[in-house]
Each structure stands twice: as structure tokens, then as C-alpha cells.
Amino acid sequence: MPFFHNLVILFTRCPQIGKCKSRLIPALGAEGAMKVHKQLVSHVLKELKRFLASTDNTYLCIYYHGGTLRDIQQWLGSGHLFKQQQGDTLGERMATALIHGLEKKQNSILIGSDCPGIRSRILADGLEALKHNDIVLGPAHDGGYYLIGVAQNMPRAKCRQLFEDITWGTEQVFAQTLIHADTMGLKTHILNKLHDIDTEEDLKYFHYCPNPE
């Protein structure tokens, strides 16, 4: 396997009725919420493939939660590198995934699968920023973030600290992460703010098709 300077991590979940996009279930039902999840992942993957086609020093690893390797391969195909998320909390799972890149001395960015505004240019800007910064963050309008990246020389302990004592799922996530970075003396680059798709109100930012073919 050739050496890659950069790693892009996609965090997602196996599509299971009742376990995807739970805040959309009251409006769309469990199956409708799962369809939104699947469409978002498909959309983000298209952008990732477009970005990867423009570079020869970056690879993608999809970290999945729920289901089995067979489940995720049946859904997304076997032509990707998959790893199961490891950890009891979201923070532990993200830290562990990013440390995978640090162990290989790679600049690494992690994105979720619910931000339709992610484009190749944003991914390129995020990795470029890691050449001169310790971390990069892409803030979301809901107070969280859609992207976090760490430079290849980040100590593993500091990487884990970034994800500790964060009130996940609240509007404080981005602000708390910035405080952690500042406390640790990390140089941070901030990308453009984008919208995540979590609630019925958010659907206006995504061309959702309720009955895809």
C-alpha cells in the first residue's frame, strides 16, 4: 500500500429503522428518517469521491456504528476501507479514529455524514490548513461542528483531550472544543460555517427526496 500523507475519515451509521436521524422521526417516521440518512451519506460520498479523484496523496476510511461489516458493505459496496467505531462515547470514538491517522503520521480530518454543504474545496482547505495549524474545525450552525482535523504531529494525549468533557448533542460542542484547544495552546483554523441536517426545519438545506428510486 503506498504511503499517504492525508487521511479523510467519514463517520456514519448503518441504516437501521428507528436508529437513524432520531430527531426527524416525529416528522417523517422511522423509515422516512432512515431514508434521509441514506440520502445524506450518498451525497457526502459523491463529494468525497470527487475530492479523492483530484489528489493522489489522500485516502478515505469509513468508520461505521451499528450493524456489521457485511451490513455496511452490502449498503455502500466493498470498494471502501471500513472500520468499526471503537469507544463508549462519541468523543472516544472520534478520538480513536483520528489517532489511527496520527499513528501513521498523517494529517487527518473527520467529517460526519449529515452535512450536505461539504464540498471538495472545503476538504482541500481543511487539509491545507493542517500544514500550518494544529487543528482545523468546521463549525455548524447548530453549535456543533461538521469537520474536525488534527495535524500529524499532534500528541495522542492531546488529541484525546479535545474530546473529553464535551456535552455532545448540544449547542455548546464547538465552543467547548475551542476552549479545550486554547487551554492546550493549540493553533486552530476555522472553516466556513455550514448546516447539519438534524431536524425537520433543517431539511430546507437539503434536497431531500421522500421516495427515492
For residues 164-181, average pLDDT: 96
What is the average pLDDT score of the chain? 93
**Which pLDDT does position 213 carry in this prediction?**
41
**Which pLDDT does position 183 carry in this prediction?**
96
Q: Is residue 110 part of a domain?
A: yes
Q: Is residue 128 part of a domain?
A: yes
Q: Residue 87: give its domain's CATH number.
A: 3.90.550.10
Burial classification of residue 71, based on how many CB atoms lie within 10 Å of its CB (0-12 exposed, 13-18 middle, 19 or more buried):
middle
- The pLDDT tens digits for 136-167 are 999 999 999 999 999 999 999 999 999 999 99
Q: Is residue 112 part of a domain?
A: yes
Q: Is residue 202 part of a domain?
A: no
Q: Is residue 105 part of a domain?
A: yes
> Residue 105's domain spans which residues?
6-196
pTM, 2 dp: 0.94
- How many Å apart are CA 117 and CA 181, to the nearest integer? 25
Q: Is residue 201 part of a domain?
A: no
| Number of folded domains that form the chain | 1
**Which pLDDT does position 4 carry in this prediction?**
74
Q: Is residue 123 part of a domain?
A: yes
Q: Is residue 70 part of a domain?
A: yes
